Amino acid sequence: MNRRHFSSAVLASAAAAATGCTSAQLTRRPDPLLFDPSRYTPQTVEVNGQTLNVRAFENLPVVARPVEPEYQALNLYVPEAYFTGGRIGRFDARTAPIFLPNAVGGYMPARPGTLTKSMSGPAEQTHRVSASAVALSQGYVVAAPGARGRTLQAPDGRWTGKAPAAIVDLKAAVRWLRHNADRLPGNVERIISNGTSAGGALSALLGASGNHPDYEADLRALGAAPGRDDIHAVSAYCPITNLAHADEAYEWQFDGLREYRNVSISMLDFRVQRQEVVAQLNDAQLALSAEMRANFAAYVNSLKLQAVDGTPLMLQADGRGSLRDHVAALLLASARRALAAGQDVAATPWLQMQGGQVIAVDFSAYARAVGRMKGQPAFDGFALETGENQLFGDSTTDKRHFTAWSSRHSQVPGATVADAATVKAIDAMQQLMDPRSTVAPHWRIRHGAVDRDTSLAVPALLAAAARRRGGSVDLALPWARPHSGDYDLDELFAWTMSSAGA
């Protein structure tokens, strides 16, 4: 491992270099990606009644030739103690892990995150302390990158944030950190990514696609720093990933359910208050659903993945099989943990109880009880109506299909379909199948037990795929949690602490 030796002398010399020009700098073009430690604003954060002083380095460009400068930027927060030789807990300026939370929701554009704005969204959570503030209080350096998103458009009308723009920007931020490893506090070999929903998908993708050559041309065109972009650990809440098979997975889970409670807002995002409208699938849609479920079984079987205990994860065309049993077992474990923590689970219609213990999960009853939230297909809409259709546009097209299935059933004359390389470039699952990627060694995946934004098969397959690539994976479906993230910060940072190996 390439461990750096950070010292305050290095910081001082970098500061001097930033303020005065040497003759060498006059002849060479200055490096626009060089970190200048002298340009910061002092900020304070309150965590658990304690006030922490930090230096805030905000809106740092992470590429030399940005197309959307407000988004292709990073906010860096460093505990003041690290500039005076101090320690926080077990960490100092050389060893502090770097917490990298992205603020992406709905595959929308995201500015670099700040400390005051909560990363987690549902209304009741917005006043809680942010994950970044907790991270700083525990001695992490926080690097909060922005990312382009699906609605961005340049003044000339060209779309600038379509897939895979967001992941390219996050990779550029990781490269920026390594590029400046000797000038900034924090250990670039201990980068821990965090995100929720679309942001969870991007967090997983960052860990799945390290150093992959597929992104090189885009990174180079933007003037990203050369070098590695693999990371140490992934924290992903309810990742909306595996978009190429998410439609099939959704039909598999909600097998035969006619009623759905459609969310009547065009921008799905875990931070937005949702209003639901009851609707029905018709007979033709139910027939399509059965076809899609059989396609999902064929896909799952082609993956040849295994559960932790070595059981192959398979499905029959009717949707039954060991993957279904595996997902039911994850729900069972969730219920048992909730019960052990003193929660009342007895009234849950899909749990079988005996003698005060939870003994089984009925997965069909689970699906009926939580209910279908999205129409059909859930992601690649036949009318190009979803956020994902907009994610898969290109510079001159706002919305495209991204599966052969929906492209065949398209209701939009002249609709086109994204190329396979683009679909892969924004998909953690496909990157985990590609041996050319460097995979993060540590993964924590959380998907709320009542989250209906994507099928529970999506995080289950993601976990199994990361495990096959050598990752140590901690997957759980927290009891009664809807589509949300950052709700268990104590547990998250206990996990990052052990996975950071510090």
Cα–Cα dist 384/399, whole Å: 6
Residues 353-392 that bind ligand DHB (CB under 6 A): 387-388
Backbone conformation region of residue 247, classed left if phi is above 0, alpha if psi is from -120 to 50, else beta: alpha
CA 361 to chain CA centroid, nearest Å: 28
Minimum distance from CB of 317 to ligand DHB (Å)?
26
Closer Cβ to ligand DHB, 63 or 152, answer by number: 152
280-309: contacts with ligand DHB (CB under 6 A): none
The interface region with ligand DHB, picked from 45-53, 99-107, 351-359, 422-430 by CB under 6 A, is 99-107
**Cis omega (within 30 of 0) on the bond before 377?**
yes
Identify the residue among 33, 60, 134, 198 touching ligand DHB (CB under 6 A).
Answer: 198
Q: Give the count of residues interacting with ligand DHB (CB under 6 A).
A: 12
Of the pair 254, 270, the CB lying nearest ligand DHB is at: 270
- Cis peptide before 239, with omega less than 30 degrees from 0? no
CA–CA separation, 499 vs 502, rounded Å?
8
Q: What is the CA radius of gyration of the chain?
A: 23
By three-state DSSP, how is residue 401 classified? Answer: strand
List the one residue out of 297, 234, 145, 162 whose CA is nearest residue 459. Answer: 234
Instruction: For the CB of residue 11, give the shortest distance to ligand DHB in the complex, in Å.
Output: 37
Q: Site residues for ligand DHB, window 259-278 (CB under 6 A)?
A: 268-270
Residue number, 138 or 455, with CB nearest to ligand DHB: 455
Supply the DSSP string of 307-324, one letter for each residue.
Answer: -TTS-B----TTS-SHHH
The structure tokens listed for 377 are 């297909």
Closest CB 328 distance from ligand DHB, rounded Å: 23
Backbone φ and ψ of 269, nearest 5°: -155, 140
Smallest distance from ligand DHB to CB 28, Å: 43
Nearer Cβ to ligand DHB (381/471): 381
User: Closest separation between CB of residue 197 and ligand DHB, Å?
Assistant: 3
Q: Using CA atoms, how far apart are residues 85 and 255, in angstroms rounded to an integer? A: 59
Q: Which of 54, 268 has the CB closer to ligand DHB?
A: 268
Task: Specify the residue, 189 or 269, whose C-beta has the smaller distance to ligand DHB.
Answer: 269
Grouping H, G, I as helix, E, B as strand and the rest as coil, residue 26 is helix
The stretch among 32-40, 101-109, 168-176, 313-321 that binds ligand DHB (CB under 6 A) is 101-109
Q: Which of residues 102-131 bind ligand DHB (CB under 6 A)?
A: 105-107
CB atoms within 10 A of CB 158: 13
Write down the least CB distance from residue 268 to ligand DHB, Å: 4
By CB under 6 A, is residue 240 in contact with ligand DHB?
Answer: yes
Query: In the bound complex, what is the minimum distance in angstroms from residue 351's beta carbon to ligand DHB?
Result: 26
CB distance 448 to 477 below 8 Å: yes
Map the footprint of ligand DHB across residues 422-461, applying CB under 6 A.
Answer: 453
3-state SS, 249-290, equals: HHHHHCCCCCEEEEECCCCCCCCCCCCEEEEECCHHHHHHHH
Q: Minimum distance from CB of 99 to ligand DHB (Å)? A: 20
Which position among 102, 130, 180, 197 is part of the footprint of ligand DHB (CB under 6 A)? 197
Closest to 368 (Cα-Cα) out of 226, 255, 458: 255
> Which one, 215 or 270, has the nearer CB to ligand DHB?
270
Nearer to ligand DHB, 219 or 236 (CB): 236
| CB 265, min distance to ligand DHB, A | 10
The site for ligand DHB (CB under 6 A) is made up of 105-107, 197-198, 240, 268-270, 387-388, 453
